[in-house]
Amino acid sequence: MSADRATRHTGLIHPVSPTDGDVRALVRTGAERADADEAARLQALHALQLLDTEPEERFDRITRLAQKLFDVPIARVDLIDATRQFVKSSQGLPVEHSARQDSFCDVTIRSEGALVVPDAGRDHRFRDNPFVSAHPNVRFYAGTPLHADGGHRVGALCIVDTRARTFDEAQTELLNDLGRWVEQEFVAREEHRRTLAMQTVLQPAGLPVLPGFAFAATSMAVTGVSGDLWDWRARSGSVNLMIADAMGHGAAAAIMATNLRASMRTMMNLVEAGAVHWDRSDSAVPGGSTPARQVDGAFAKVLTVAAGTVAEYLDRSDMFITLFATRINPDGTMLSVDAGHGLTVIVRADGGCEHLVTTELPIGINPDLVWTPREHVLHPGDAMIMFTDGLLDLFDGTLASLPELERIVRSADHPQDWIDAITRRVQTRGAVPDDITVVAVRRDR
Amino acid sequence: MTDYTISHPSPGAAVIAVTGTLNVVSARGFREAIGDAVDRAPGQRVVVDLAGVPTIDSSGLGALIGGLKAARAAGGDLRIAAANQQVITVLELTNLNRVLQPYPSVADGLGDAAGGPVAAESATAAGSAR
């Protein structure tokens, strides 16, 4: 807050003596209230982020329908800004924004309910309006106010004719209904944007860092909101990496994926903090009892506990999640658990290509499941790609396309190049067929 | 449009014949159809006839698994029959054929032995099948 604003703010809340003059100062005049309402209205309008945007099909289909339904030459969605009318959708007239003072819709938004002007030429409010006296020579106008979140009237859906008309109550109701549809588009868009923003916040911040290894990752979603997730945690010199795919896509899948992410993160943090100990009677992890192996052993428990945490929700929603989680140590050794995911490929520097298959079930099938960790080693020059099944849809949709993936890996050295090649494929295709997440790692030395 | 026909070929058994794709759109209705069958006669064996299902996605799989859980919770069972290769491949991708073994025909699904599931060993061979 600037010093200036702070001073003014302090001035506002400074205690006043209740003399006549001060009391009068505390009561807002009608004009002041109108100003405040208008400021709030403009804020609501601007928050929609529709001003100065291109026409959109989702609004155009409503104005097209209104045009046909009411058999009028002109139908529009107009938004009323401080001094101008912004045309978001227009049928029958080119999109030309105009001054607010000449706007019929500005009159519409001044009160609740539709405004019907049967003959503007005989209406003293509009007789001298430039759109009446000149092109397009408006005679009939009907508009229904459009409300933003919070109830502010930010614009109107209107129909216009160049001849005088009557408009009965049933027709007015129909126009109001179409207006509610436009408002739904406002809300749906707003909701979607907030969801997207929140998911972006929950994305991993940056790529894992492990000396001698290079990482790259990408995530693309059908609806913008992904049911895939990937995440990493790095401490004590190793990287814990996971990729998961919640059944379905869109917001429902994303909510469940987020749930799992939180549980996995909590468990990984507890492991790194040494709060989860490996009971050596767990036969899960072979090898010695060095501190590093103990962390490995604890990591193997991560999935079981995290899965148990979300199992109840998965059960109630008939959903399941496939997941691959791995702990990569600086010496290239890896310990991995795979819950029905099975979409990890190691491309060996010496020419081999291994698909890390799993016979274990996804999370959410059986609450008592325990997953068995497996060991692998990344040698210098080896690459590993973890992905979700949406990636297969970029090829032939089956595991027969794995050699294509191997070719991409062998065509360049850095994981980012592989991710770029995959992104180009999506762009060529024009649309994301299913949520796609790819995490790639290469051991350099 | 995906349709469901429920029949009762023998006491203690229900067959749900599905026609159409099982995906994010039809999954809910399909899951309700299974739920109805389970509620109407708890403890019975429900066989889902997938002969008329060209494709299934993960949401469809979720409905099948949810139905399986509901059937087992009610003391019964749920089996799938006559699935095409695409459906079986989707099951195998996630190893869900281990809990939802595909039977070659509705008659096999209704029977107790009758040769067992299509791929009795698929639970252990799921990896190599991929």
| Residue pair A414/A404 in contact by the 8 Å Cβ criterion | no
Closest-CA distance, B121 to chain A, in angstroms, reads 12
Query: pLDDT-based confidence at A28, cuts 50/70/90?
Result: low
Q: Give the closest of B58, B89, B93 to A247, CB-based.
A: B58
Residue B129 lies in a domain: no
End-to-end CA distance of chain A: 51
Query: pLDDT-based confidence at B16, cuts 50/70/90?
Result: very high
- Cis previous bond, B102, omega within 30: no
CA angle A413, A419, A229 (to 5 degrees): 130
CA pair distance A271, A277, nearest whole angstrom: 8
Contacts of B130 in chain A (CB under 8 A): 342, 355, 357, 399
pLDDT at residue A292, rounded to an integer: 60
Interface test with B, best of A314, A315, A318, A393 (most B CBs within 10 A): A318
Q: How confident is the prediction for chain A on average, in pLDDT?
A: 86
> Which residues 61-90 of B have a C-beta within 8 angstroms of A?
61-63, 65-66, 69, 89
Structure tokens at A187: 């809300």
Contact A318 B63 (CB under 8 A): yes
CA pair distance A219, A249, nearest whole angstrom: 13
Residue B130 lies in a domain: no
Structure tokens at A379: 């040698």
pLDDT at residue A281, rounded to an integer: 44
Tens-digit pLDDT profile for residues A164-185: 999 999 999 999 999 999 999 9
CATH assignment of A47-190, among 3.40.50.720, 3.30.450.40, 1.20.1280.260, 3.20.20.70: 3.30.450.40
Interface test with B, best of A359, A366, A434 (most B CBs within 10 A): A359
CA pair distance A123, A40, nearest whole angstrom: 31
Q: Which fold would CATH assign to domain A201-443? A: Phosphatase 2c; domain 1 (3.60.40)
pLDDT at residue A278, rounded to an integer: 54
Q: What is the mean pLDDT of residues B104-123?
A: 63
Instruction: Look up the domain containing B35 and give its range.
Output: 3-124
Contact B96 A359 (CB under 8 A): no
- Domain harbouring B91, CATH code: 3.30.750.24
| Residue pair B113/A340 in contact by the 8 Å Cβ criterion | no
Interface test with A, best of B55, B65, B72, B99 (most A CBs within 10 A): B65
User: What is the number of domains present in chain B?
Assistant: 1
Contacts of B94 in chain A (CB under 8 A): 320, 322, 340, 342, 361-362
Most confident of A109-123, A285-299, A365-379: A109-123
Could you tell me if the ipTM is greater than 0.95? no
Q: Alpha carbon A217 to chain centroid distance?
A: 18
Tens-digit pLDDT profile for residues A419-431: 999 999 988 887 7
Angle between helices B58-73 and B85-93 (to 10 degrees): 80
Residue B96 lies in a domain: yes
Tens-digit pLDDT profile for residues B52-81: 999 898 889 999 999 999 999 999 999 999
Closest-CA distance, A397 to chain B, in angstroms, reads 11
Q: Where are the domains of chain A?
A: 47-190, 201-443
- B115 has a pLDDT exceeding 50: no
Contact B99 A359 (CB under 8 A): no
Tens-digit pLDDT profile for residues A190-223: 788 888 888 888 888 899 999 999 999 999 887 7
Q: What is the mean pLDDT of residues B120-125?
A: 36
Closest-CA distance, B7 to chain A, in angstroms, reads 24
pLDDT at residue A70, rounded to an integer: 97
Closest-CA distance, B119 to chain A, in angstroms, reads 14
Residue B90 lies in a domain: yes
Q: Which residue of A has its CA nearest to B59?
A: A248
Q: Give the closest of A319, A361, A399 to B130, CB-based.
A: A399
A312–B contact, CB cutoff 8 A: no
